[in-house]
Each structure stands twice: as C-alpha cells, then as structure tokens.
Structure 1
Amino acid sequence: MLEQEAARNDASATTAEARKRDRRNLFALSAGHALEWFDWAMFGLLSVYIGTAFFPGDSPLSSTLNSLAVFAVGFVARPIGGVVFGMVADRVGRRLVMIGSIGVTAAASFVIGVMPTHAQIGVWAGIIVVVCRLLQGFAAGIEAPLSNAYGLELVPNRPGYVAGFMAFFNNLGNLLAPLTAFATSALLGATAMGEYGWRVPFILGGVLGLVVLWLRRSLPETLITESGEVANKASTRTEAVVVWRGVGSRWVSVLAVIFIVGAIMAYNYTWLSGLPSMATGTFGEDPTGVFAVSTTMSIILTLGAMVLSKIIDKWPLSRWFVIARIVAIPTIFLVLLYTGGGIGSLAAVMIGGSLVLVVNLTIFNTVANSLFPQYCRGTAVGLGYGIGVALFGGTASYLFVWLQSIGLHAVFPVYIAVLCAISVVLYIIAKRRNGIFVGE
C-alpha cells in the first residue's frame, strides 16, 4: 500500500514538473511571438512620425503614405522568409531559427529607434529603414508558423493548450503596441513625441529582444532527423530534396493553408484596422472613442485565447476549425451594420465580431501545422502562411475602405465569406487526401 502511494506521489510530481517545463518552454516561445507582433504593429501605428523623419514628402499625408508603403514591403518579404527559414528549420532544427528570428527583429527595431533622420544623413536614412523593414518581414515570415509548430512539438499531447497559450501572447503583443504608443505620447506630450518620443517604443522593442534571446537560449531541439537523432549542426541533415518532395506531395494541404491563413487574416485586419480607419477617416468618429473600442476588442481577443486554451482539447481540433470558420461566414456581414452614427454602433459591430474572431485566431495556426508531418512542416506552413498573409491579409484593410469609398461596401463581406468557405472545403479535402498529424 505504501509503495503504491509512493508511486502515485512520484507520478504526480513528475507530471507537475513536466507541466512546469512545458509552461517555461512555451513562455520562451510566446514572449518572442508577442515581441514580434509588438514591433510589427508599432511601425504602422507610428507611421506618421516615421514618414516625417525618414521619408519627407510635399505634405504630412505624402510622408505618411511613403511610410505605409514601407510597412507594406514587410508583407512582401514574409513569404520569402517563410520559405527560406522554414527550410533551415526543417534541415538543421527549430531552435536555431527561433533564436535568429527574434534577434533579427529586435536588432532592426533598435536600429530604427536610433537612426539619424533624412535631414541628417539624406536618402541613406530611408534606405536603411527599408532594409530593416525587409529584415523584419523575413523574420516574421517564419516566427508565427514555426513558433506554433515548435510549441506543438514541445507539448504534443495538448494542441489546444498550445494554441491558446501562444495566441494569448500574440494578441498581447498587438494590445501592448497601441498602449505603449499612447503612454509614451501622454507622458512626453505631442511636441516631444514628434521630435523624439516616437523612438522610445522601438528602442524598447530592441532591449526586450535581449530578454527573449536569453529565454530562448535554453529551448530544447525538437527536430528528429531520419537517423533518429535530435538535429544540431553536427547531425545528419534532412536533404532539401526530401523536404520539398514532402511539400510537393501535399500541395493541396499547402493550398489549404493559404486560405486557412488568408481568410482569417483578412477578417482580422478588417476588424483590427479597416473598421477603425473607416470610423475616423470616413465617418469622422471621435478618435479617442475609436481607440477605446479597439482596445476593448484587443482585450477580448487576449483573454479569450487564454480561456480557450483550457477547453479546446476537449474536442478534436478539426471540429473546432470547421464550426468556427462556418460561423465566421455570416458574422462578417456585421460590417454592413456600421454606417456611422456614433461609437455605440461601431462598438456593437467590432465586439460582436470579435467573439467569433477570437476562436478562429486562436486555432488557425495550429490547424495549419496539423496538416503536415514534422520533417517538412516548417517549409510547407511557412510558404502557405506567407502567401496567405501577403495576398489576403495585407490587402484587406485597404480593400475594405476603398470599396466603401466607391459605393461597393456590400461587396467586401461577400469576398471574405467566399474566402472562409474555400478554406473549409480545402481543409476537408486536404485532411481526407493527406491526413492530419496533430489534434485528433
């Protein structure tokens, strides 16, 4: 009896230690994920200051547009980064890429924060900022898909927990970006913010990158080579041809990932920036009220992801995805209900849509990774993720506002609904044809 009790206690202690280790590893991954999106969002939020400092034009508007064009360049770089670094991750291991990704992002953020302006060094200022943005795009192209794949390999038996845990930090990064910009502006004032205060969040992002690098240094490698060894620089590498053969044989799954990612990113950016931009730019809503609504939505997404991490594993991941994505189809038509008329109607639309958005945003990355075996997962998901974000996510806000400006506002939700429907159909086909490797 005493021996049985001791055995139970030992097993309980082992389980507790394992869960503690899992949380520690996932935090190291997720903290970098949050920082990645903090730096990414900050560039767009502070584009008016960046444009004035590095890309002067004939007017403040033209300077801002120049800066936003550079912001878009980062989206173009993401598919390339996804493929290149995904290939490295599938050949030599996940850990090296995850450390390099956050190092590049943090360094680029710090450089932007301390760079001399156009008035000081001329055109070189703009060129260096463009290079930094390209580097951040390359890094972001692999950070999101690979960090989720890495998390699933570290904690293979709890995909829902991994999805929710990492989505929480992803949303936290997006939430902290506007809060940091707001706090900096409030503390320094409008004049100081325009002169030098805008640099503070970028320098902060660079410094925090050192903390994340320290956290990630202890991550274990999870890639197992064909010889059965854990990958490292000295071990046998999976040949590139083997990886690409795996990707090519699952081309339907790659196509499915493009739409799984692209559809929800288009939905996300509609809520994240499209609706707020239309509220302030077209309908003249109070910017403070719009900011409050956007912040409330971000809080719902952040806390909702953590709640979902506790319950997703109760159902197969495929069931969560199909139901959540089908529900998103009618929900996108909520955008038609907002035609101005005050913050109240904007809040009803944005918060109502966010309740469906939170489920889709929490699981989409894990669903994408579930469609591939480990040996080609980094390359395949990096490719599909990058293309999906560049084609559909990066263009959604612009398309939403532009269609509204020419009187075709009703066309946009149909477009998103079609993307969502295609993603469900392709997922089911890919699942039946190639199988799934996580979450069932």
Structure 2
Amino acid sequence: MSKEFGNESRPPSRARVLIAGLIGNVMEWYDFALYGYFATLIGQQFFPSTNPTASLIGAFGAFAAGFIVRPLGGVVYGRIGDLVGRRRALSLSVMAMAIPTVAMAFLPTHAQIGIAAPIAVVLLRLLQGISAGGEYTTSIIFLAEAAPDRQRGFYSIWGLWGSVLGMLMGSAFGDLLTRTLTQTQLDAWGWRVAFALGSLVALTGVIIRQGVGEDDASATKKTPLKSTLGVHRPAFLRVLALNIASSVGFYAVYVYLVTYVEVVDGIADSVALSLNTDVMAVLLLLYPITAWLSDRIGRRALLMSGAALLCVGAIPFLQLIHSQDPQLIVRGELGFTLAIALVDGGKGPANVELMPAEVRCTGTALAYNLAEGWFGGTTPLIAAVLVAWASGNPIYLGIWVGLSGLCTFVTAAFFTRETAFKPLIKQAQTQPS
C-alpha cells in the first residue's frame, strides 16, 4: 500500500513544508539578483570594452546563457522528481546551485587571467541554469500536492515568494554595500562578499529539506519526457504559454530596469537599488493576496487580468520609468508589480493542476523553463539591445513586454479550463500503466 506524498509517522508541520518549498528559490534568486544588480561592474571586470554598452551586453549575454540551458536542467531534475521523488530532486538542486554562486566570489577578472575570465563566467552561468532548472517547478508541485483542496494557490505561491525574497535579499545587500563601501572597495572585493554569503542560504536549505519526509514515485511512467511531448503535448504547450508574460515582465522590471535606471536615466546606483527593493517588498505583500484570490475566484481571472494589464500598461509604465524622476519611476515599477502579482497568483497552481500527475515534474519543468529561459532570461539582453537601438527610449522594450502579456491573455482566455475548484490527482494516487 503506497503512502501519500510527504506522509510519515510524524508528518512535518505546515511551516516546515512551506519553508522547505521556498528555501531553494531563495538561493536561486539571491544569485540571479546579485548578478543582475552588479551587471555593470561584472561587465567592466570580466567583459571589458572601450564601449560601456558592449561590456553590459556581454555581461547580460552570459546571464542569458544560463537561462537558455534551463530547459535541460528542467528535464534532468523533472525526471528525478517524477521517478525518484520530489524531495530528493529539491535536496539535490539546492546543493548544486550553491557551487556557481560561491565560485563567482573567487573568480579572477579579465585583467588577471585574460579571456579565461569571461569563459569561466559563462560556464558558471550554465551550471547555475542547469541546477536551477527544476527548482521552482518541483517546489510548487511539492507545495501544491501537500496542500488541502482550495488552498493550493496559497501554498504554491510560497515558491515564488521565496524567489522574490531571494531577489529582495540580493537587492537589499547590494544597496547596503553601495551605501557603506567606497566605489574602489566595491569594485575590488565588496561584490564578491555578497556572492560568498550565498553558501549560508544553501546550507539552510539542505538542513530544512532533510526533514520533510520521502515521497512515493513508484506509480510514475518511466518515460516522462516522451509522454510530455507526446500524449500530453497540449497541456505542455498551454503551461508554456501561460508562463511567458510573467517571465518577460519579471526580468524586464526586476533585473534589467535596475541597470536602465542607472545607465540611461542617470540615477545613482544606491537610489536605483533602493527603489527596486521597495517595489519587490510590495510584490511580497501582494503574492499571498493574489494567491488567496485565485483559490476563491479561480486561476483564469487572475491570469487574464494581470496579462491584460501588462499588455496595455507596458509602454505607459516604461515612459514613467524613463522620466528620470524617482517618484514617477516608482509609479511605473508599481504598475508592473501589480500586473506580475496578478498573473503569478494564478499561474503557479495552474501549472500544477493543468499537468497530468504522471509527468507533472518533467512536463511543468520543461514548459516553465522554456518560457523562463528562452523568453524571460533573454529579456535583459534583448532589452539592452532594443534600448541601445532606440538611443535610450524604451518604446521597443514596451512592445516586447506587451506582446508577452497578449500571449498569456489569449492562452488563458481561450485555451485554458478552470482548475481551481477540482481535487488534485497526486503522484502516489496514479496507477501504473
């Protein structure tokens, strides 16, 4: 007789389940946030050029490389999650993500080892991308399958909450460093300390995840990737499209626009980081509210409203950010934040509910990482090119973000059924074929 997922003689507490689900996302996004916030400095030290824009594009190109390989990581960790167990995949991913984060702290610069420096940065981003490929999706599946019915939205949002907390930690620590260190100190060693401290988050994650029990994967199909791209292809494509708007919007606002405000608007680094920290704190407050709403009124309502706001508001919000006035900049960022919070409140549980149980880890990870990696993760690079092409005007970036919102809106409105009010078929309930 198979046991239910996460069930032991003494089940873990609700708090421990939620922390176990979110802690790996904290690790992942702490790293990505630091890289994004120190992109200008990393570009100067590892991708030097007489043209600052070229250095920045080089740094964001390495950032994008890590996201391009995320679908591969999604397949690897998704297969582990489907065939071996959710918790084992989560424990492995958080340990693997710590390696490139800490290694970044000790990496020699271009001035010290020449061309090997940018190559090493790219290799570390590739390793980070593969390691992170299954983290978020496995965590929300873990949380949703552990949740009571009609609370799956509230439970699963904590995976994303951990992501934003990681970014907030990276932003806050970057803000602290820029305020307390001289520019010389920051360039020489300050930014490296921030990466080195990521090891503490990883250690916490390993300890927490050891105490949430094992799961039963014996009823799972032995070819989850083949099934995902075969009989379950419609569900796979639907989940992919539903993730495009929030992926593009998230990376445009919380990664690229920090650099945009510094380089194009001429706002001081400390002010740009402080504004970004403030709006991410608002996002953390909004997430439980929008997730709770999705449990009450459904996933589609949240997905459609958020995607519509992103579609029609992208250009106006970006014009506010382009104003060079900190008060107007924060209004534009808050507009994006509301749109992203609405989409994310519905998409997390919808990802889990729309994907059949026997391929849930593999299918969700592959779909999510294609959206996140090929659309979202490349957005900072695309944005840097589009803004440079328009001589600093963000109009083309607004079109890119607006089209992403349109894609998700159409998918939610016309091709997605409501899943919030039906019981979730869990992995251990699936019978072998």
Q: TM-score range by the shorter chain?
A: 0.7 to 0.9
Query: d(CA) in 2 for partners of 1:57 and 1:249?
Result: 50
Q: After TM superposition, list the pairs within 5 Å mapping 1:13-28 onto structure 2.
A: 21-28=13-20
Q: After TM superposition, list the pairs within 5 Å mapping 1:270-419 onto structure 2.
A: 270-335=252-317, 337-338=319-320, 339-340=322-323, 342-400=325-383, 402-407=385-390, 409-419=394-404
Q: After TM superposition, list the pairs within 5 Å mapping 1:19-418 onto structure 2.
A: 21-57=13-49, 63-118=55-110, 120=112, 123-157=115-149, 158-226=151-219, 238-240=221-223, 244-335=226-317, 337-338=319-320, 339-340=322-323, 342-400=325-383, 402-407=385-390, 409-418=394-403
Question: Is contact 2:303-2:343 (8 Å) kept?
Answer: yes
Relative to structure 2, which stretch is displaced further, 51-60 or 78-87?
51-60
Shift of 1:143: 0.9
- Relative to structure 1, is the Cα distance of residues 324 and 438 closer, same or farther in structure 2, using a 3 angstrom cutoff? farther
Query: d(CA) in 1 for partners of 2:282 and 2:420?
Result: 33
**Which of 377, 401, 408 matches 1:423?**
408
Question: Is contact 1:372-1:436 (8 Å) kept?
Answer: no
Question: Is contact 1:36-1:173 (8 Å) kept?
Answer: yes
Question: Is contact 2:298-2:346 (8 Å) kept?
Answer: no
Shift of 1:74: 0.6
Give the 4+ runs in structure 1 shifted more than 6 A: 433-440
Query: d(CA) in 2 for partners of 1:215 and 1:424?
Result: 37
Aligned-residue identity in percent: 24
Deviations 1:365-390 (A, max 9, x none): 32222211221011111111111122
- Relative to structure 1, is the Cα distance of residues 252 and 430 closer, same or farther in structure 2, using a 3 angstrom cutoff? farther
Query: d(CA) in 1 for partners of 2:65 and 2:270?
Result: 29
- Relative to structure 1, is the Cα distance of residues 437 and 83 closer, same or farther in structure 2, using a 3 angstrom cutoff? farther
Paired amino acid for 2:37: L
Relative to structure 2, which stretch is displaced further, 328-337 or 28-37?
328-337
Q: Which runs of 5+ in 1 are unaligned?
A: 1-16, 227-236
Shift of 1:80: 1.1
Question: Is contact 1:262-1:391 (8 Å) kept?
Answer: no
Shift of 1:103: 0.4
Deviations 1:331-363 (A, max 9, x none): 324235434252222222221332222122333
Paired amino acid for 2:92: G
Deviations 1:111-131 (A, max 9, x none): 221334455555555444333
Q: Which runs of 5+ in 2 are unaligned?
A: 1-9, 426-433
Shift of 1:177: 0.6
Name the TM-score, length of structure 1 as normaliser: 0.82
Shift of 1:174: 1.0
Query: d(CA) in 2 for partners of 1:277 and 1:216?
Result: 35
Query: d(CA) in 2 for partners of 1:433 and 1:252?
Result: 15
Query: d(CA) in 2 for partners of 1:398 and 1:269?
Result: 10
Question: Is contact 1:146-1:378 (8 Å) kept?
Answer: yes
* Structure number having the greater helix percentage: 1
Question: Is contact 1:93-1:223 (8 Å) kept?
Answer: yes
Question: Is contact 1:255-1:426 (8 Å) kept?
Answer: no
Paired amino acid for 2:350: V
Query: d(CA) in 2 for partners of 1:143 and 1:176?
Result: 18
Shift of 1:287: 4.1
RMSD, aligned CA: 3.1
Paired amino acid for 2:277: T
Question: Is contact 2:172-2:273 (8 Å) kept?
Answer: no
Question: Is contact 1:316-1:439 (8 Å) kept?
Answer: no
Question: Is contact 2:298-2:420 (8 Å) kept?
Answer: no
Paired amino acid for 2:298: P
Shift of 1:219: 2.2
Shift of 1:224: 3.8
Relative to structure 2, which stretch is displaced further, 245-254 or 195-204?
245-254
Query: d(CA) in 1 for partners of 2:419 and 2:181?
Result: 56
Deviations 1:251-284 (A, max 9, x none): 1222222221122211222222444444333333
Name the TM-score, length of structure 2 as normaliser: 0.84
Query: d(CA) in 1 for partners of 2:112 and 2:133?
Result: 32
Relative to structure 2, which stretch is displaced further, 90-99 or 164-173?
164-173
Paired amino acid for 1:419: S
- Relative to structure 1, is the Cα distance of residues 349 and 45 closer, same or farther in structure 2, using a 3 angstrom cutoff? closer
Deviations 1:141-193 (A, max 9, x none): 11111111111112252212113323222211111112112223433432222
- Relative to structure 1, is the Cα distance of residues 55 and 90 closer, same or farther in structure 2, using a 3 angstrom cutoff? same
Query: d(CA) in 1 for partners of 2:303 and 2:123?
Result: 37
Question: Is contact 1:258-1:384 (8 Å) kept?
Answer: yes
Question: Is contact 1:145-1:385 (8 Å) kept?
Answer: yes
Paired amino acid for 1:417: G
3-state SS, counterpart of residue 340 of structure 1? coil
Query: d(CA) in 1 for partners of 2:47 and 2:309?
Result: 43
Query: d(CA) in 2 for partners of 1:47 and 1:353?
Result: 22
